[in-house]
Amino acid sequence: MTRTLTVCPYCGVGCTFYLVSDKGRLVGVEPSTTHPVSRGGLCVKGWNAYAFVHHPDRLTTPLIRRDGQLRPASWDEALNLVVERLQAVQAKHGKDAVMFASSAKATNEENYLLMKLARAVFGTNNIDHCARLCHSSTVTGLAETFGSGAMTNSISCFDQTDVILVIGSNTTEQHPLIGSRILNAVRGGTRLIVADNRRIRLARHAELHLRHKNGSDVALLNGIMHVIIAEGLADREFIAGRTENYDALAESVADWTPERTAAATGLTADEIVAAARLYAGAERAMVVFSMGITQHSHGVDNVRCIAALAMLTGNVGRPGTGVNPLRGQNNVQGGCDMGALPDLYSGYQKVADPRLRDKFAHAWGVSSLPAEPGLPLTRAMDAASEGRLHGMFIMGENPMLSDPDQGHARKVLENLELLIVQDIFLTETAAVADIVLPAACFAEKEGTFTNTERRIQRLYKAVEPPGKARADWEIICDIAERAGYNGMRYTSPAEIMAEAASLTPIYGGIAYQRLAAHGLQWPCPDKEHPGTPIMHLDRFTRGLGHFSPVVHRLPAELPDAEFPFVLTTGRTYFHWHTGSMTRRTHLLAREEPHSFIELHPDDAARLGIRHRDMVLVSSRRGEVRTEARVTDMVIAGVLFMPFHFVEGAANALTNNVLDPESSIPEFKVCAVRVEKMP
Ligand SMILES: Nc1nc2c(c(=O)[nH]1)N[C@H]1C(S)=C(S)[C@@H](COP(=O)(O)OP(=O)(O)OC[C@H]3O[C@@H](n4cnc5c(=O)[nH]c(N)nc54)[C@H](O)[C@@H]3O)O[C@H]1N2
Ligand SMILES: Nc1nc2c(c(=O)[nH]1)N[C@H]1C(S)=C(S)[C@@H](COP(=O)(O)OP(=O)(O)OC[C@H]3O[C@@H](n4cnc5c(=O)[nH]c(N)nc54)[C@H](O)[C@@H]3O)O[C@H]1N2
Ligand code: SF4
Ligand SMILES: [Mo]
């Protein structure tokens, strides 16, 4: 048996483990006992992360659509066709008629290369990835207020805090090893506030469980800040020394009395006062948030309020404090860091800045780079239906199930002049592609992932890829070469990282030989720098922290007589997004075999729906059949549905209205009707 250290391919917690293999086949997983995050533990997905690797459905050869059918092809044929057809679309409709979707499942090196391919070889800034659907509101909101969009503190800080406010994060199911840290801290005396109207597991251990209306977080946070200021609980010294624009914030929350906040949120005035006193009364308080905050048409505003709350109470820049967005995918932090974003190069360097464009153009050996920011992923579908986008290259994403308003997404994906998908399985998106490229998965390649606490960690290759599948980085380099570009000749991912580090100040000190033990946390500007567990220590990345006052706005679609329920969507413990990996993992699929919707017992009784009845759920955009789960996990009037299941797909229902600033879809609120199937 051979043991190979690697990083979990599921969530952003970034646990490491050993893949155990026997004669070239994976047989199991062993946690790493010395790792600072996993500390010998793993969640059920980590324990089972080897199981999909040898699944018979793995893609083993390139496929090209001929006479309507995807048929096996050689790499030569497939890659020549990729280049020929991308160039043909560009020749016909312009450089920006193609879009590249990168992958938060792929490594840093692969994300860096795909953005380099889009910009240097194909001359477009149309590059983005699933962060757009996820923490784009965080990146925008925290860049404005702090100067950096990442988690400010480290996972170890959960052991050093007095109060944790968890708002819009189902931590025990979605970031399980952070969830268990929180539960441990609570056992040790840390006090917990949960602001989420589902009765998630953490809520059972919380001193305060705020079950406010979906989409009312700005009201809630403004109300809490009102109480903090009115009761003299603000940190005057921090505000004076480290921040700007406080007066505007104070003015904007002046009207948010507990009574007004109660009316807007559905809570009681006492609950709001209690939350303010508990959070502001602590010596060290942390905020933890995720999709319940970001996935709204006012997601950036939600983030602004969280940043303001932390600054108001001086809870930034010390152990056990901070603003802590939990990043979702194993490498979504890295996808952002590496510049798989339409307006930014790696390290959040703006494409709009001519000096930075020159720097990258020079390093990449091209005469110029495009100046206009590209299309956000969530605007691609509309751009295509309006005739502005004609080709997509999608690496490691499955928008057919993950994009809002599936009916619309399907129509666009099926009608694109050119769709290329590079994945490890024939996903619902790959099934409608013109060309499919088989990729190696995490266990079959080297590279690095960056976890939610900005920790850059190495993967080591444990087994060979199936059939002719190749690592994403090798495929991208081969495409560049065939497109006539000679600036992508690397012999290993280490060499790619060396180039990325040389162009990316926050990764400046990253080199493979330094990552051996437990990786390094960025910012790590030079080869001597030890990495940064806590950001914004003496000053914010932008200098002074900026208070951005926010006006409360309602979600774009609210219940009415025709669609009387709020639908909110999300995830379960056992499955991962569109299920490509977890539904091919026997032990996980057995636990949660099919689609369901949570419905409050009072609503169920009124509608004559019993537990496990089949129901029809419809919105203005579509309808699905699914199984009713009658439970007080949800409050009356609200339904919850995971989006993992192709049969009973939540995204047939969701609204593709976007936050105007971050372009994130409002996955967390739309209006639906539910009825019992005859
Ligand atoms: N098992 C598993 N783990 C995962 C994933 C997975 O698919 N499966 N996906 C990963 C990814 S990419 C991500 S982004 C994270 C997401 O992690 P989370 O954000 O924790 O997961 P969600 O289920 O999307 O939503 C979290 C909570 O938001 C609440 N919520 C809904 N609307 C509102 C609101 O208006 N206000 C507030 N305050 N709360 C609201 C919901 O009730 C829900 O409990 O999980 C990561 N981890
Ligand atoms: N209704 C609703 N919809 C949502 C959300 C929600 O809360 N509600 N959340 C949104 C969020 S936060 C996110 S992050 C998105 C996620 O949306 P997606 O990123 O589209 O979902 P995944 O299923 O994670 O897709 C990852 C793909 O990468 C493939 N893959 C795995 N490893 C590799 C690799 O090494 N190389 C390559 N090339 N491919 C690989 C997998 O097979 C899979 O097809 O969904 C969004 N959609
Ligand atoms: S907590 Fe996240 S990183 Fe850790 S084993 Fe579970 S899915 Fe993997
Ligand atoms: Mo996500």
Q: Is the CB of 476 under 6 A from ligand 3?
A: no
Task: Clarify whether residues 399 and 267 are in a common domain.
Answer: no
Beta strands in 319-470 (DSSP E): 322-325, 344-345, 349-350, 391-395, 418-423, 435-438, 447-450, 455-459
Task: State what percent of residues in the chain have pLDDT above 90.
Answer: 99
Is residue 512 a part of any domain in this protein? no
With H, G, I as helix, E, B as strand and everything else as coil, classify residue 490.
coil
Do 549 and 249 contact (CB within 8 A), yes or no?
yes
Model pLDDT for residues 538-597, shown as the tens digit of each residue = 999 999 999 999 999 999 999 999 999 999 999 999 999 999 999 999 999 999 999 999
Model pLDDT for residues 321-353, shown as the tens digit of each residue = 999 999 999 999 999 999 999 999 999 999 999
Q: How far is the CA of 474 from the centre of ligand 3 (A)?
A: 27
Number of domains composing the chain = 3
Model pLDDT for residues 134-187, shown as the tens digit of each residue = 999 999 999 999 999 999 999 999 999 999 999 999 999 999 999 999 999 999
The last residue of one of the domains, among 326, 353, 376, is 326
Task: Clarify whether residues 321 and 339 are in a common domain.
Answer: no
Do 488 and 113 contact (CB within 8 A), yes or no?
yes
pLDDT at 678 over 90: no
Cα 562 from Cα 439, distance rounded (Å): 45
| CATH code of residue 314 | 3.40.228.10
| CATH code of residue 640 | 2.40.40.20
Give residue 516's pLDDT.
86
Task: Clarify whether residues 274 and 298 are in a common domain.
Answer: yes
Task: Clarify whether residues 305 and 351 are in a common domain.
Answer: no
The last residue of one of the domains, among 306, 326, 346, is 326
In ligand 1, the atom with minimum distance to the C-alpha of 167 is 38
Q: Which stretch of DSSP H or E encloses residue 287?
A: strand 285-289
Among 7, 10, 32, residue to substitute to test ligand 3 (most atoms within 8 Å of Cβ): 10
Task: Clarify whether residues 235 and 311 are in a common domain.
Answer: yes
Model pLDDT for residues 625-676, shown as the tens digit of each residue = 999 999 999 999 999 999 999 999 999 999 999 999 999 999 999 999 999 9
Q: Is the CB of 337 under 6 A from ligand 2?
A: no
Q: How far is the CA of 177 from the centre of ligand 3 (A)?
A: 7
Q: What is the mean pLDDT of residues 56-63?
A: 98
**Domain enclosing residue 474, as ranges:** 63-133+330-449+468-485
Is residue 252 a part of any domain in this protein? yes
Give residue 640's pLDDT.
98
In ligand 1, the atom with minimum distance to the C-alpha of 574 is 1
Among 474, 577, 581, residue to substitute to test ligand 2 (most atoms within 8 Å of Cβ): 577
Q: What is the mean pLDDT of residues 417-428?
A: 98
The last residue of one of the domains, among 300, 326, 352, is 326
pLDDT at 394 over 90: yes
Give residue 517's pLDDT.
81
pLDDT at 221 over 90: yes
Task: Clarify whether residues 88 and 173 are in a common domain.
Answer: no
Give residue 604's pLDDT.
98
Residue nearest ligand 3's atom 8 by CA:
46
DSSP conformation class of 121:
I
Q: What is the mean pLDDT of residues 12-40?
A: 96
Look over the chain and give the mean of its residue pLDDT values, rounded to a whole number: 97
Residue nearest ligand 2's atom 4 by CA:
402
Give residue 32's pLDDT.
93
- The band of 49, judged by pLDDT with boundaries at 50, 70 and 90, is very high
Q: How far is the CA of 287 from the centre of ligand 2 (A)?
A: 26
Is residue 457 a part of any domain in this protein? no
